[in-house]
Amino acid sequence: MQKLITVTGLLVFSVFTTPLLAQQDVFIKEYLERLEKSKEYLILVAETMPEDKYTFKATPESMSFAENLMHIAWAMDWHSQSLMGERKARDWNTDTELKVDAKSKKEMIATVEKTFAITTEFISKFDVNKLDERLDYFGANRTKRQILLLLTDHITHHRGQMLVYMRLNKLKPPRYVLYQ
């Protein structure tokens, strides 16, 4: 009788949890597809801007085109590796890997592509059972799923600034890459 109750309990548990885990897996799959398209568009934008315009700023207090590009890489690293992956955050004052530093346009684009690859690999292996875990995000209590969504918003925000910089330099941005 005890075995029957245990088997019945496991069956009922799996009936309710399996769809939830499947939804989490679909979320990750769709998220990675969106992240890949976001990368494609960002790289097109970065390649289209002439290197001599990478230092352009809309206002003195704004980030330059190059700083926006590298800030995206920094944020991807921090959101995935440090915030979600619990790796110690890079020290902004001493770490130059994800900063403009003395990088050429080609080096910055390669760094951003590498960071996208590392972020994509991290997310593809992320334990979907942890998506509902909550953590502090600048004073707001957010799930790790929300953190991923915040990351895509952040990429879009800074890429949007880069597009404006192109227009201010009388350049035509590349055509929008769908499904972001």
pTM of the model: 0.85
In this predicted model, what pLDDT tens digit does every residue of 96-141 receive, in sequence order? Answer: 899 999 999 999 999 999 999 999 999 999 999 999 999 999 999 9
- Other beta carbons within 10 angstroms of residue 113's beta carbon come to 15
Taking the domains of the chain in order of start, what are their residue ranges?
30-168
Q: What is the pLDDT of residue 25?
A: 84
* Distance (Å, whole) CA 126 – CA 24: 11
Residue pair 164/177 in contact by the 8 Å Cβ criterion:
no
- Measured between alpha carbons, how far is residue 46 from residues 42, 110, 127 in Å? 6, 11, 32
- The answer to whether 117 touches 35, Cβ cutoff 8 Å, is no
Beta strands in 85-137 (DSSP E): 134-137
Residue 61 vs residues 56, 67, 92, 97: alpha-carbon distances, Å: 12, 12, 18, 23
Please give the backbone phi and psi of residue 137, each rounded to the nearest 5 degrees, phi first: -125, 90
- Per-residue pLDDT of 19-36, as tens digits, reads 444 446 899 999 999 999
In CATH, 30-168 is 1.20.120.450: yes
